[in-house]
Amino acid sequence: MKNLYLSAALSFLSVLAMAQTKSDPAAKAILDAVSAKFKTFTTVEASFSYKVENAAGKALSTKTGSIKMKGTKYRVSFSGQEIFCNGTTVWNYDKAANEVTISNLDASSGMITPQKLFTNFYDKDFLYLLNGEKKVGNKTIQEIEMTPVDKSKPFHKVYVQVDKTAKTIYSTKVLENAGNRYSYTVTTMKTNSPLADNVFTFDKKKYPGVEEVDLR
């Protein structure tokens, strides 16, 4: 189940990364601006909340997570799991099992990384449309409705909300074909703060008794 939650979290990020350039020009301009803004950051630290609802809108689960990024390095913490990447090696740590799986980062494989997810918006997988703006607290939020071109996808709609002033992702909602809805909201974001490189490397001395599964 934890693997499912983590996959869903990364899927949330991945849907932010894919859009079709022949869609609404206004939506494209917003996504362009978000991508350009992200590329100016030397580091990013963000916290997010994650909610699962059924088709009737009843909350089934609520969790929180965090992410740190620096260049090609990243670290994701979510629902009892952590992923570390120092730019060449990936460590996937499962807290409940006290087990870490180690693999190489293969840049040529098309593997999705958080950096790609925030900057690569043009993979021709979605049609997108700007639905309009609304106020959320003191923020002006622009909502983009995204529909997958491939109808075999397990979801039929994604709603991406962008902070108009900050030009950053505020939230995303994924509507599954089975009826469940997955919502992610960025609760805090800090950029351009110093982050040591060792933050992105798994240090087994900090995890006594950890079992290593080395797939390299």
What range defines the domain where residue 92 resides?
2-204
Rounded CA separation 101/85 (Å) = 12
Distances, alpha carbon 39 to alpha carbons 53, 120, 168, 184, 195, in Å = 33, 11, 11, 22, 17
User: Does 61 reside within a domain?
Assistant: yes
For residue 106, the model assigns a pLDDT of: 75
For residue 105, the model assigns a pLDDT of: 86
Assign residue 168 a region (left: φ > 0; alpha: ψ between -120 and 50; beta: otherwise): beta
User: Does 50 reside within a domain?
Assistant: yes
Burial-class residue 30 by CB neighbours within 10 Å (0-12, 13-18, 19+): buried
User: Does 214 reside within a domain?
Assistant: no
DSSP type of residue 36:
H
For residue 133, the model assigns a pLDDT of: 96
For residue 32, the model assigns a pLDDT of: 85
User: Does 172 reside within a domain?
Assistant: yes
User: Does 147 reside within a domain?
Assistant: yes
Distances, alpha carbon 90 to alpha carbons 12, 53, 204, 205, in Å = 20, 31, 14, 17
> What tokens does 51 get?
């909610």
Rounded CA separation 57/213 (Å) = 40
Spatial CA neighbour of 156 closest among 172, 171, 173, 177: 177
CATH of the domain at 200: 2.50.20.10
Rounded CA separation 122/194 (Å) = 30
User: Does 212 reside within a domain?
Assistant: no
For residue 126, the model assigns a pLDDT of: 79
* pLDDT tens readout for residues 106-123: 765 545 567 666 665 545
Q: Into how many domains does the chain fold? A: 1
For the chain, list residues with pLDDT below 50.
Answer: 14-21, 110, 122
User: Does 93 reside within a domain?
Assistant: yes
Burial-class residue 158 by CB neighbours within 10 Å (0-12, 13-18, 19+): buried
For residue 16, the model assigns a pLDDT of: 44
Q: Is the pTM of this model over 0.95?
A: no
For residue 18, the model assigns a pLDDT of: 44
User: Does 216 reside within a domain?
Assistant: no
